[in-house]
Amino acid sequence: MDSAVRAGRSGGRHAVVVGGSLAGLLAAQVLAGHADRVTVIERDRYPEGPEPRAGVPQGRHPHVLLQGGQSALEALLPGFLAELRESGSPYVGMPSDLVLWQAGRWLRRVPAQVYIYTGSRAQLEGLVRRRVLANPLIDTVQGTEVVGLLGDASRVRGVLVRERSGEARAAEPRALEADLVVDASGSGTKAPQWLAGIGAVPPHEETLDTGLAYASRVYRGPKGVLDGETTGYYVYPGPDQPNGGGALPLEDGSHLVIVSGLRGDEPPTDPDEFTAYAKRLGHPLLDRWMAEAEPLSAPFGYRRTANIRRRYDLPGPPAGFLATGDALCTFNPIYGQGMAAAAMSAVALRDALTDPRRTPTTRRVQRALLAASRQAWDISAGADRKMPGALGNAVDGGSADRFAEWYLRRVMERTAGDPVVGAAFRSVLSLSSPVSALFAPRVARAVLFGRPLPTPTEPPEVPESGA
């Protein structure tokens, strides 16, 4: 059997991570405990501070760190959450701190059961980068792209890299040998082509695309916050309300406003048209706030929102190669799972490499990585299957998924007004509880036999007593 990180011919173990974003940095942090050196290859050059960069095209849009991701990051980088709070990242309780509309109902603002961080992606990634790259075993090769793999159909033995200088590229790639290559290059990964280039079988891809697109713009409200006890607004899109959007707080006191629509109804990036598009959310709440707020940026658009899962766990891919993060499983970003899934995958990598009961073969570790992203996939793909116009080979989830959709529809009908059902639903969405939490006896009784409880007829201005 192969080992996922095996000793090289010279006795030193070298791991290469392709991509220096969140998933790649956290994978490098784990691998530094098993390799003599880890090299992170990043197409961009890292900024000096927490700034958006070209390699994270969705970096200017809202990002949330779900509770499952918080626990994973704290396990990988002890003390990280305290750093995140100290840096000013808003810590938002759900549903007490937000005005939320979902499945045709305003949610009651009962005491918070889950919390999310809503600071910018650049801020969070900058903090992770500072912690990870302080490790002397981890080196970076920046301004450089991977253009192929070394090895053959049985084993990957390194990568071919080429420097990038603006738009100009060096003529000849150079070889960088490694005992393990981890693809964390994101949703635009070229790994299937790289594998085909060495005679290996590329992975089967499962796809589901609603055509959802969104646009975002930074605003500062006249009082720095939305409405006193309200931290943010959000309208979740759904089959009966295809337009979504809202405003979430950033670390500097501003708010990031997002609006979304489906294929053929993409939000515009013209400032006036962006403002007009926000009126489609079915209630003038956000529109009124935007009219009094000051825009601090131009609108930015994003349209690559398909769910894509690459099945490297199936027979075919060679030893010495793993995929993680969006290179393994890309989710519709509207559900806010990407950062949490990347962190949870790094924990799965750590656990698989240190499992005393099993030899960490490449395929075994890859299965663990896929399992870590399964719940996020089930949530994102499950929700998108119900959206009008969804396309792809994963649209039909089969009979089991049809039962799950029936049960979930009943959950959704009760989430807005029933604190018990709502708490279970939010814990699953935050990736802090397994899906089985929705079938706990108390929850199942309410879902199967209880009637939906009353919900607010207008956006609730303040949290309920005790929230």
Band (pLDDT 50/70/90 cuts) for residue 386 is confident
Cβ atoms of 425 and 432 within 8 Å: the answer is no
Residue 54 pLDDT > 80 = no
Q: Is residue 297 part of a domain?
A: yes
pLDDT tens sequence across 315-338: 888 999 999 999 999 999 999 999
One domain, residues 150 and 167 = yes
One domain, residues 261 and 315 = no
One domain, residues 339 and 373 = yes
One domain, residues 150 and 202 = yes
pLDDT tens sequence across 61-77: 899 999 999 999 999 99
pLDDT, average across residues 379-404: 86
Residue 171 pLDDT > 70 = no
One domain, residues 188 and 201 = yes
pLDDT of residue 417: 95
Residue 4 pLDDT > 80 = no
pLDDT of residue 125: 95
Band (pLDDT 50/70/90 cuts) for residue 161 is very high
pLDDT tens sequence across 213-267: 999 999 998 875 566 688 999 999 888 889 999 999 999 999 999 999 999 999 9
Q: How far apart are CA 317 and CA 8, in angstroms?
A: 20
Q: How far apart are CA 322 and CA 155, in angstroms?
A: 11
pLDDT of residue 60: 82
One domain, residues 444 and 333 = no
Band (pLDDT 50/70/90 cuts) for residue 126 is very high
Give the contacts of 334 (CB within 8 A, at least 6 positions apart).
212, 214, 237, 244, 260, 305
**What does the mean pLDDT of the chain come to?**
92
One domain, residues 263 and 407 = no
Percent pLDDT > 70 in the chain is 94
Mean pLDDT is lowest, of 157-161, 288-292, 433-437, for 288-292
One domain, residues 245 and 146 = no
pLDDT, average across residues 301-322: 93
Query: Which residues are 256's β-sheet partners?
Result: 218, 248
Q: Is residue 6 part of a domain?
A: no
One domain, residues 179 and 316 = yes
Residue 347 pLDDT > 80 = yes
Q: How far apart are CA 412 and CA 32, in angstroms?
A: 43
Q: How far apart are CA 336 and CA 184, in angstroms?
A: 18
| CATH value at residue 314 | 3.50.50.60
pLDDT, average across residues 348-377: 94
Q: Is residue 160 part of a domain?
A: yes
One domain, residues 416 and 375 = no
Residue 164 pLDDT > 90 = no
The closest of 125, 18, 20 to 77, measured between CA atoms, is: 125
Q: Give Cα separations from 19 to 43, 129, 209, 327 (angstroms).
A: 7, 12, 24, 10
- Domain extent, residue 132, equals 14-61+127-208+306-382
Band (pLDDT 50/70/90 cuts) for residue 103 is confident
One domain, residues 372 and 266 = no
Helix orientation angle between 399-415 and 362-385, rounded to the nearest 10 degrees: 60
**Residue that terminates a domain, selected from 285, 302, 319:** 302
Q: Is residue 74 part of a domain?
A: no
Residue 9 pLDDT > 60 = no
Q: How far apart are CA 340 and CA 158, in angstroms?
A: 28
Overall number of domains in the chain:
3
Token pair for residue 377? Answer: 């996939």
pLDDT of residue 53: 73
pLDDT of residue 104: 87
| CATH value at residue 263 | 3.30.9.30
One domain, residues 292 and 358 = no
The closest of 403, 405, 400 to 390, measured between CA atoms, is: 405
pLDDT of residue 95: 95
pLDDT of residue 1: 40
Q: Is residue 119 part of a domain?
A: no
